[in-house]
């Protein structure tokens, strides 16, 4: 697993002198410090990694974000409201300890500085990777509803993302196919029973050159993500409402396609529509000519999903100065239908967000 230190600063307004000096200092560290000199560039500017380099027993890397965006909210029958968020500082500090040739122990600790300092363990697991079999045990991100994305802001599929203390095992079936299964102790007791075991499975196919990936996932109980399904009372959630997850990635030449879809296979609540059987879909297309520019567009749709927009469109432009420094500018427009806004006292028509991202990536290992 790579070890690196990356700093992302997302701002809509002009950065302060301190922020600019801090970014320039970090970028200078990347180019001048021998600690981060393990990756060399060839005559064409491509990065060459030393495959024979031996990784140290302990790797540390951190992802730190300082975010400030401009939000314009249009209310039904009201004037527009303009807000500038942040700066909100958050970071992930990860320790990756090599136990032996096949096993690691990983700790991912997340810190938020937003009206106070808050921290929590995002992941803490033991992972063993053999030739055709792998095992992961501990708190981890469940492989459901979490597609890769080039964008700055979250997708509508965020509602299905969650972490659990679980056991996950996967098998390499050959010819590009992989079968994975996981189990966890459910924290949502919908029928006053004792602890119940939930889990899921994932079958995937990928090409060796990573230009194509297709995954089909199943989870036994979407009640585990009920906190993301709006202000639904715990007692209205039906037990073991299964969910389906579909992921696709395809790259050809300079173009790429990312698609994700999550839906409940039955009603998750005893309520009538519009909030009883949620689903969400995202489609992302990107174009990357050469090593510097990235252009991307994303369209999204959700159904019967409270607190999330029914339609969302995003455009992203990113420029990479080199492998360590890049700039990104994103515009996102979200449209809500009546009854889907996230406040009982107001009706939101649409929300527009502009985000600027400056990213510095300090890497010692890839």
Lowest mean pLDDT among 44-53, 80-89, 112-121, 134-143: 44-53
Torsion of CA 218, 104, 129, 111, to 10 degrees: 30
Judged against a pLDDT cut of 50, whether residue 5 lies above it is answered with: no
Residue with more model confidence, 151 or 324: 151
At residue 192, the pLDDT reads 53
The domain spans of the chain are 4-363
- 36 phi and psi angles, rounded to 5 deg: -105, 30
Number of H helices, E strands in the chain: 1, 21
336 in Cβ contact with 350 (< 8 Å): yes
Identify the band that residue 183 occupies on the pLDDT scale cut at 50, 70 and 90: very high
- Relative to beta strand 279-287, strand 293-303 is antiparallel
What percent of the chain shows pLDDT beyond 70? 66
| pLDDT digits 0-9 by tens, 212-255 | 999 999 998 877 665 555 445 555 555 577 899 999 999 999 99
Mean of pLDDT over the chain: 77
At residue 296, the pLDDT reads 97
Judged against a pLDDT cut of 80, whether residue 268 lies above it is answered with: no
At residue 136, the pLDDT reads 97
Lowest mean pLDDT among 137-146, 190-199, 239-248: 190-199
Q: For the residues 128-141, what does the mean pLDDT come to?
A: 94
What is the distance between the alpha carbons of residues 253 and 356, in angstroms, rounded to a whole number? 27
What is the distance between the alpha carbons of residues 158 and 10, in angstroms, rounded to a whole number? 20
| pLDDT digits 0-9 by tens, 204-213 | 999 999 999 9
202 Rama sector, left if φ>0, alpha if ψ -120 to 50, beta otherwise: beta
At residue 232, the pLDDT reads 52
Judged against a pLDDT cut of 90, whether residue 23 lies above it is answered with: no
At residue 212, the pLDDT reads 96
Residue with more model confidence, 159 or 88: 159
At residue 43, the pLDDT reads 44
Judged against a pLDDT cut of 60, whether residue 38 lies above it is answered with: no
Identify the band that residue 39 occupies on the pLDDT scale cut at 50, 70 and 90: very low
At residue 193, the pLDDT reads 56
Taking the CA of residue 202 as centre, how many other CA atoms within 13 Å lie in the half-sphere pointing to its CB?
Answer: 24
What is the distance between the alpha carbons of residues 218 and 200, in angstroms, rounded to a whole number? 5
What percent of the chain shows pLDDT beyond 90? 35
Q: For the residues 171-190, what does the mean pLDDT come to?
A: 86
At residue 53, the pLDDT reads 61
Tokens at 89, concatenated = 């500082």
At residue 277, the pLDDT reads 79
Residue with more model confidence, 16 or 71: 71
At residue 278, the pLDDT reads 83
What is the distance between the alpha carbons of residues 295 and 320, in angstroms, rounded to a whole number? 12
CATH 2.40.160.10 applies to domain 4-363: yes
Identify the band that residue 128 occupies on the pLDDT scale cut at 50, 70 and 90: very high
311 in Cβ contact with 334 (< 8 Å): yes
- For the ranges 83-97, 183-197, 254-268, 273-287, the maximum mean pLDDT occurs at 254-268
Identify the band that residue 150 occupies on the pLDDT scale cut at 50, 70 and 90: confident
Alpha carbon 189 to its chain centroid, in Å, reads 27
- For the ranges 38-42, 177-181, 237-241, 308-312, the maximum mean pLDDT occurs at 177-181
Judged against a pLDDT cut of 60, whether residue 151 lies above it is answered with: yes
């Amino acid at each position: 697993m790579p070890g690196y230190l990356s700093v992302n600063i997302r701002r809509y307004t002009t950065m302060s002198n301190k922020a600019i000096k801090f970014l320039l200092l970090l970028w200078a560290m990347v180019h001048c410090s021998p600690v981060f000199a393990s990756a060399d560039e060839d005559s064409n500017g491509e990065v060459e990694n030393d495959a024979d380099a031996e990784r140290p027993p302990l790797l540390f890397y951190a992802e730190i974000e300082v975010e400030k965006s401009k939000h314009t909210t249009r209310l039904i029958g009201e004037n527009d409201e303009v807000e500038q968020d942040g700066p909100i500082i958050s970071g992930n500090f990860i320790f990756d300890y090599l136990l032996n040739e096949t096993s690691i122990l990983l700790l991912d600790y997340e810190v938020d500085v937003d009206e106070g300092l808050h921290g929590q363990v995002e992941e803490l697991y033991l992972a063993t990777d053999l030739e055709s079999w792998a095992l992961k045990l501990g708190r981890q991100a469940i492989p459901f509803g979490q597609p890769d994305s080039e964008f700055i802001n979250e997708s509508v599929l965020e509602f299905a993302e969650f972490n659990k203390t679980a056991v996950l095992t996967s098998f390499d079936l050959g010819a590009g196919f992989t079968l994975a299964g996981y189990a966890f102790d459910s924290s949502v007791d919908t029928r006053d029973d004792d602890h119940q075991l939930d889990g899921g499975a994932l079958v995937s196919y990928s090409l060796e050159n990573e230009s194509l990936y297709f995954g089909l996932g199943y989870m036994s109980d979407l009640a585990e993500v009920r906190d993301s399904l709006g202000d639904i009372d715990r007692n209205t959630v039906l037990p073991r409402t299964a969910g389906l997850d579909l992921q696709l990635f395809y790259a050809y030449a300079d173009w790429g396609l990312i698609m994700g879809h999550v839906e409940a296979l039955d009603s998750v609540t005893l309520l009538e529509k519009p909030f009883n059987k949620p689903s969400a879909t995202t489609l992302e297309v990107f174009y990357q000519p050469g090593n510097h520019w990235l252009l991307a567009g994303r369209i999204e749709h959700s159904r019967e999903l409270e607190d999330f927009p029914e339609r969302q469109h995003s455009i992203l432009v990113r420029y990479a100065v080199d492998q360590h420094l890049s700039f990104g500018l994103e515009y996102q427009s979200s449209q809500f239908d009546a009854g889907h806004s996230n406040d009982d006292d107001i009706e939101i028509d649409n929300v527009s967000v502009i985000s600027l991202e400056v990213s510095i990536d300090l890497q010692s290992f890839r």
